[in-house]
Each structure stands twice: as structure tokens, then as C-alpha cells.
């Protein structure tokens, strides 16, 4: 997802100090037709204005011939052991994306 300036957009999915285990679902959309995939970078930022720390990346393949603005539900989870997981799916069909 990109902002109006063309740079990657950052969305807060799990708020700071949220009790763990925690998970959040957010819907994103493709930015162009036939987009082959989606890369989700998970970052940590301790306080506003401080540098972000990249924790990991998740890469999901999208169905062929997906239209622009194809919806993708991303669920980000953080467990008691500090494991971060992400899943992606089509909210209309329930199909999981891998």
C-alpha cells in the first residue's frame, strides 16, 4: 500500500502496550490490476518520532487477473512467546492467500 506521495504507507495494526496475545484484522486493497503479490513488512516503533525497526516480512501471492482495488484481509497476531504471524485472505470468498 502506498500513500499519495508514492512511499509505502504505515498502518498501526496492534497498538503499543496492547495485552498479549493480540491480533488485529485490517482490509487492504491492491493498487493496480493483475498485481502478482503483496508484501507486508512488520515494523516496531517504540514511541512516535523514533526510528522504526523492521521485524519481518510476509509475502502473499494474489490470484491471477485480480482487479485493481482487490480486497485483501490481513490478520496480524503476536503471541505470548513473541511470535508474529500474518495471514491473508479474500474477504468475499474466505479463500486464504499463501
Can you point out the beta strands (E) in 1-98? 22-29, 37-44, 53-61, 71-78, 84-89, 96-97
Report the C-alpha gap between 66 and 33 in whole angstroms: 6
Does residue 6 carry a pLDDT above 70?
no
Output the pLDDT for position 20.
93
Output the pLDDT for position 1.
58
Does residue 15 carry a pLDDT above 60?
yes
pLDDT digits (tens, 9 = 90+) for 76-91: 999 999 899 999 999 9
Sketch the domain layout of the chain as residue ranges.
22-97
Q: Measure the N-to-C terminal CA separation of the chain; round to a whole number of Å.
A: 18
pLDDT digits (tens, 9 = 90+) for 21-73: 999 999 988 889 999 999 999 988 777 777 888 889 999 999 999 999 999 99
- What are the C-alpha distances in Å from 16 to residues 20, 37, 39, 42, 46? 11, 28, 23, 14, 8
CATH number, domain 22-97: 2.60.34.10
Amino acid at each position: 500500500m502506498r500513500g499519495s506521495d508514492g512511499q509505502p504507507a504505515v498502518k498501526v495494526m496492534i497498538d503499543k502496550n496492547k495485552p498479549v496475545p493480540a491480533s488485529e484484522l485490517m482490509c487492504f486493497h491492491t493498487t493496480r490490476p493483475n498485481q502478482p503479490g503483496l508484501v507486508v513488512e512488520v515494523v516496531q516503533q517504540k514511541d512516535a518520532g523514533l526510528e522504526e525497526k523492521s521485524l519481518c516480512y510476509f509475502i502473499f501471492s494474489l490470484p491471477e487477473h485480480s482487479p485493481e482495488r482487490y480486497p485483501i484481509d490481513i490478520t496480524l497476531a503476536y503471541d505470548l512467546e513473541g511470535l508474529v504471524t500474518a495471514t491473508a485472505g479474500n474477504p468475499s470468498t474466505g479463500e486464504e492467500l499463501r
